[in-house]
Amino acid sequence: MLIPRGGAWGERVRDELARRGAAGVVAPLIESRPPRDTAARDAAFARLAAGEYAWVFITSAATVEQLVAQRVDIPVGTRIAAVGRPTARAVAEAGFEVEFVPVGTSSATNMIAQWCAGRSPRSTGRCLVLRSDLAMAVISDELELQGYEVDVCIAYRTVGVDLEPDVADAVRSGAVDTVLLTSLSVGRELRRQVGIPGPEVFIASIGPGTTRDAEKLGYTVHHTAHSQSVDALIAELDARPSEDSP
C-alpha cells in the first residue's frame, strides 16, 4: 500500500498495516512547511500563548506539529476544539487537553455546526482558527456569520513532494496495488506525477469528502471510509472479504 505522508504519521500507518499483514510503502506526496508569512503566524501564536483567546480551533495534526515546533504553550484557560479524533489524539500527545471533538465525520462543516449548537457570541470570548493555506474558511466564515469574534492564522502550507522514480513506476505498473488517498492535495500530486492509476490499483479514500474531490480529478475510488479517519480506513480495508481485495 502507498502511504502518501511521511513523518510520525506515516510510520504509525505503516506499523498498523504491518500488524494486519499488509506491506506499506511510506512515500510522501505532500509535506507541511512554515507559512509564507511567518511574522503573522508568530504574532498569532504569541497571542494564543498569552491567553488572548477563549477557544482555538485545530483542524489537522499538521497544525499541532507547527505548534510543537514553535514551542507554543496553550494556556489552561484557552479551550481547544479538534476537528476529529485523530487530530484530538495529536493534540493530547502534544500535552494539551481537548475540550470539544465533533461526533461523526471529521470535517470543518460538521465541527462548526456541532460546536455552535447551544453556544452564543455573548457567552464566548474571542476565537482563533488555525489552518493550512489550502483549507477553505468554513469555520471562520460561520463564526463571523453568527457574530463571534474570530481571528484566522495560516499555521502552515502544504507543498508537493516528488516520488522516487521506482515508487512512481511501481504504482503505474500495479506493483503497489493499493493507494491510500488521504486528501485532495494527495490526489492532485499523484495525478501530476503518476497519472490516474489503472484498474489493477485499488484506490482507498479516507472519507466521503476526499472521495468527492478524487472523483472530480478523474479517479475511480474503490472504497471510502465512513469517517474521515485513516484508522477507520485501515480497519475497514482489513475487514473486507478477501475476494474483494485488490
The SS3 assignment for 32 reads strand
Contact (Cβ atoms closer than 8 angstroms) between residue 143 and residue 127? yes
Alpha-carbon gap, residue 166 to 168, rounded angstroms: 5
Element housing 244 (H / E): none
Contact (Cβ atoms closer than 8 angstroms) between residue 132 and residue 158? yes
Reported as a pLDDT band with limits 50, 70 and 90, residue 186 is very high
Written as one letter, the residue type at 162 is D
Across the range 117-137, mean pLDDT stands at 93
Is the predicted pLDDT of residue 38 greater than 70, yes or no? yes
What is the tens place of the pLDDT at every residue in 219-238? 999 999 987 788 889 999 99
For residue 240, the model assigns a pLDDT of: 82
Measured over all CA atoms, what is the biggest interatomic distance in the chain, rounded to whole angstroms? 59
Is the predicted pLDDT of residue 242 greater than 70, yes or no? no
- More confident: 245 or 211: 211
Contact (Cβ atoms closer than 8 angstroms) between residue 101 and residue 85? yes
For residue 88, the model assigns a pLDDT of: 93
How far does the chain reach from its first CA to its final CA, in angstroms? 10
